[in-house]
Amino acid sequence: MILSTLFFALVLGSGTLQASETDQPSLIRLPFVERVNSLGGFTKRDGYKSSLYNSHGNQYLVALSIGTPGQKFTVTLDTGSGDLWVPSTDCPALVCPVSRFDPTASSTYNTTDIPFKITYGIGAANGTYIKDTVTVGGVAVKQQQLALASYSTNIFTRMTTQGLRNTTANDAVPASGLLGLGYPGLTSTAHQKNGTAYTPFVFNLMQQNLIQDPVFSIYLNNVNEKNWAGEIIFGGVDSSKYSGNLSYVPVQQITATPSSANASSTAVTGYMFWVVYGQGILVTGGKGSTPNIQYATPLPTIIDTGTTLTYLPTPMVQAIVEAVAGPGTYQQDQSTGMYIVDCALANQDTTIQLQMTPSASSTSSPVVINAALKDVLMSDQSGYCYLAIAPSDSASPFGPNSALIGQSILRSSYMVFDMGQNRIGFAQTVFSAGSNSDGSSSTGTGSGTSSGSNNANGSPGQSGSSPSLVVSRVNALCSVLVVVIVTLYVL
Kind plus residue range of the DSSP H or E element containing 301: strand 292-303
Amino acid (one-letter) located at 136: V
Distances (CA, A) of 111 to 104, 130, 247, 262, 454: 11, 5, 43, 26, 51
The active-site residue, picked from 78, 171, 213, 380, is 78
Alpha carbon distance 198, 230 (integer Å): 29
The radius of gyration of the chain from alpha carbons, rounded to an integer in Å, stands at 21
Alpha carbon distance 436, 454 (integer Å): 22
Alpha carbon distance 416, 227 (integer Å): 22
Neighbours of 443 (CB within 10 A): 14
Strand partners, 277: 300, 357
**Dihedral angle over CA of 267, 272, 276, 282, nearest 10:** -90
Active site residue 23: no
Neighbours of 1 (CB within 10 A): 33
Active site residue 78: yes
Asked whether the bond before 258 is cis by omega within 30 degrees of 0, the reply is no
How far out from the chain centre does Cα 294 lie? 25
Alpha carbon distance 245, 320 (integer Å): 27
The b/e string for 288-303 (b: 16+ C-beta within 10 A; e otherwise) is: beebebebeebbbbbb
Q: What are phi and psi of 408, to 5 degrees?
A: -60, -30
Strand partners, 96: none
The active-site residue, picked from 132, 171, 304, 418, is 304
Alpha carbon distance 28, 48 (integer Å): 1
Contact indicator for 399, 390 with CB cutoff of 8 Å: no
Neighbours of 233 (CB within 10 A): 32
The three-state (H, E, C) secondary structure of 66-126, written as one string:
ECCCCEEEEEEEECCCCCEEEEECCCCCCCCCCCCECHHHCCCCEEEEEEEEEECCCCEEE
Alpha carbon distance 214, 206 (integer Å): 5
Contacts of 200 (CB under 8 A, 6+ apart): 82, 83, 84, 180, 181, 182, 183, 184, 187
DSSP, collapsed to helix, strand or coil, labels residue 435 as: coil
Alpha carbon distance 70, 109 (integer Å): 11
Neighbours of 257 (CB within 10 A): 17
> Catalytic residue positions?
78, 304
